[in-house]
């Protein structure tokens, strides 16, 4: 049942987001058409509070002589934004990680933690002026996390050919559903008006809280029963840009 839950929820989230983005009405009986603009956004998200489950996992990895990842997660988020004068909504693609990249040490065990997912965030604008948007983003993210433990051994070609499985890294994974809420601010720069209808500098503070997980870490045909389950509750600060390109009706005229 749990295996089927994540795909069903993914479909539900995005069909709901698409339906909400189609109309912006004050009531069902008397819909009011409002101008909706769309654009693309890119954000850098940085965790600013230590996560207790990450701290526990780090301790457990150290007992196995594995150099752990850091206590903080950071992410790159690509988003499609739709907004009117009173609300905003984003479909998000999230790539996150917490790791180290030193590959020079031989026979040294090191763990990296990576994540990828999709999300939907939306909320009302509480301030909308010619220079500022202030809004309350509320959303849900569906995340897949993988832990990779590499030993970086040295071996002869003969050993590698005859015993390839001996040198494979350990790969285990887990899934979570995270809800988030916070406060966002867009500064309307007025830059690049030749190419963009709007160009924002955007920042956001949001707390991410896991509401469901797939449980213990799992690998191929194995469940890890002595490693803390990952619950990525953390306060994130994000900074980025949001841009809406100008639509040129005649831009394909020369190709007809």
Secondary element (H or E) of residue 112: strand 110-128
Residue whose pair of structure tokens reads 């803390």 in the numeric block: 228
pLDDT (tens digit per residue) in 122-133: 999 999 999 999
Q: Which of 165, 159, 164 is nearest to 220 (CA)?
A: 165
Residue 230 has, within 13 A of its CA and on its CB side, a CA count of: 26
| Higher pLDDT among residues 72 and 17, named by residue | 72
Average predicted confidence (pLDDT) for the chain: 81
- Cα 182–210–95 angle (5° rounding)? 75
Torsion of CA 47, 132, 124, 40, to 10 degrees: -70
Per-residue CA distances from 160 to 85, 109, 163, 233 (Å): 61, 18, 5, 41
Residue 181 has pLDDT above 70, yes or no: yes
Q: How far apart are CA 108 and CA 102, in angstroms?
A: 10
Secondary element (H or E) of residue 41: strand 37-47
Mapping DSSP to helix (H, G, I), strand (E, B) and coil, where does residue 13 land?
helix
Q: How far apart are CA 4 and CA 14, in angstroms?
A: 16
CB of 154 closer than 8 Å to CB of 106: yes
* Mean pLDDT of the 40-65 span: 88
Residue 241 has pLDDT above 80, yes or no: yes
pLDDT (tens digit per residue) in 9-24: 444 444 444 444 444 4
Residue 251 has pLDDT above 50, yes or no: no
Distance of CA 117 to the CA centre of its chain: 6
Greatest mean pLDDT range, 16-20, 70-74, 138-142, 223-227: 138-142
The pLDDT confidence band at residue 104, using thresholds 50, 70 and 90, is low
pLDDT confidence of residue 105: 65
| Higher pLDDT among residues 156 and 63, named by residue | 63
Q: Which of 196, 192, 200, 181 is nearest to 129 (CA)?
A: 200
pLDDT (tens digit per residue) in 132-172: 999 999 999 999 999 988 877 677 677 767 776 666 788 99
CB of 100 closer than 8 Å to CB of 64: no
Residue whose pair of structure tokens reads 């701290």 in the numeric block: 55
- Widest CA span in the chain: 76
pLDDT confidence of residue 88: 94
Q: How far apart are CA 139 and CA 176, in angstroms?
A: 14
| Higher pLDDT among residues 90 and 34, named by residue | 90
**What backbone phi and psi angles, to 5 degrees, belong to 254?**
-70, -10
């Amino acid at each position: 049942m749990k295996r089927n839950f994540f795909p069903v929820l993914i479909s539900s989230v995005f069909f709901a987001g698409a339906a909400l983005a189609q109309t912006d009405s004050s009531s069902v009986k008397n819909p009011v058409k409002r101008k909706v603009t769309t654009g693309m956004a890119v954000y850098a998200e940085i965790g600013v509070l230590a996560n207790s489950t990450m701290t526990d996992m780090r301790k457990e990895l150290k007992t196995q002589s594995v150099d752990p990842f850091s206590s903080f997660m950071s992410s790159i988020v690509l988003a499609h934004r739709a907004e009117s004068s009173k609300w905003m909504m984003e479909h998000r693609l999230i790539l996150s990680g917490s790791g180290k990249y030193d590959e020079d040490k031989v026979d040294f065990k090191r763990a990296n933690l990576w994540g990828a997912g999709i999300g939907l965030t939306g909320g009302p604008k509480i301030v909308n002026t010619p220079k500022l948007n202030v809004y309350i983003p509320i959303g849900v993210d569906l995340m897949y996390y993988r832990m990779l433990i590499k030993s970086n051994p040295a071996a002869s070609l003969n050993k590698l050919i005859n015993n390839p499985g001996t040198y494979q890294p350990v790969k285990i994974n887990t899934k979570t559903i995270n809800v988030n809420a916070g406060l966002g601010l867009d500064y309307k720069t007025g830059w690049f008006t030749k190419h963009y209808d709007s160009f924002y500098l955007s920042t956001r503070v949001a707390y991410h809280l896991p509401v469901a997980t797939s449980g213990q870490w799992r690998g191929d045909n194995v469940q890890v029963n002595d490693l803390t389950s990952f619950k990525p509750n953390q306060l994130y600060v994000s900074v980025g840009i949001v841009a809406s390109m100008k639509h040129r009706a005649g831009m394909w005229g020369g190709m007809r």
